[in-house]
Amino acid sequence: MYIIAGLGNPTSQYDRTRHNVGFDAIDILSKEYGIKVNTIKHKGLCGSGVIGGEKVVLIKPMTYMNLSGEAVAEAVNFYKINPEEELIVIFDDISLEPGRLRLRRKGSAGGHNGIKNIIAMTGTDGFKRIKVGVGEKPEGWDLADYVLGRFNKEDRKKVDDALTRAGEAVKVILQEGFDRAMNKFN
């Protein structure tokens, strides 16, 4: 069984912002595999189903980005999964240009507060990640203003394509393994 967490902020004011690409990815997986993500559980919106022959729980933490680990750790503990083997987190990365994907097996938070909180709450940095590039903040911009802003039309199209590929990457991870997914999508 896998937990697939897409990071973002609740409420409509954050819909389709750079920081909410994780939520967007969960919405794509939900639609693609007919998994309704509408149950309030583990401090998040959850839904369970099957992707690539594997049982999954999709979760969108409702704790706001900086406390994402509260929801993720609660789900990890409830389902008694090993986060180093059965947790996939999808989130935004400002160090990647819009539309790029990078899959990583483990690593530091890299300045991302949601990831920092997941590491703190689960006690490991060894969980699988799908990073979706949202681009670097322009010089002189406040980082929070940038990540909470929306994409221009051209970047939105690139990111939407990347989100589709992120959904495909999840299926490859579940069916063929993480190394195969890294080779295919990095």
Residue ranges of domains in the chain: 2-185
| Tens of each residue's pLDDT in the chain, 186 residues | 999 999 999 999 999 999 999 999 999 999 999 999 999 999 999 999 999 999 999 999 999 999 999 999 999 999 999 999 999 999 999 999 999 999 999 999 999 999 999 999 999 999 999 999 999 999 999 999 999 999 999 999 999 999 999 999 999 999 999 999 999 999
112: annotated active-site residue = no
Q: Which member of 18, 19, 42, 43 is catalytic?
A: 19
H or E segment at 10?
none
3-state secondary structure of 64: coil
Predicted local distance difference test score (pLDDT) of residue 128: 98
Angle, helices 153-176/21-33, rounded to nearest 10 degrees: 60
Looking at domain 2-185, its CATH class is: alpha beta
69 vs 10: CA distance, rounded Å:
15
Q: How many helices (H) and strands (E) does the chain have?
A: 7, 7
60 vs 136: CA distance, rounded Å:
24
pTM for the whole thing? 0.98
81 vs 2: CA distance, rounded Å:
8
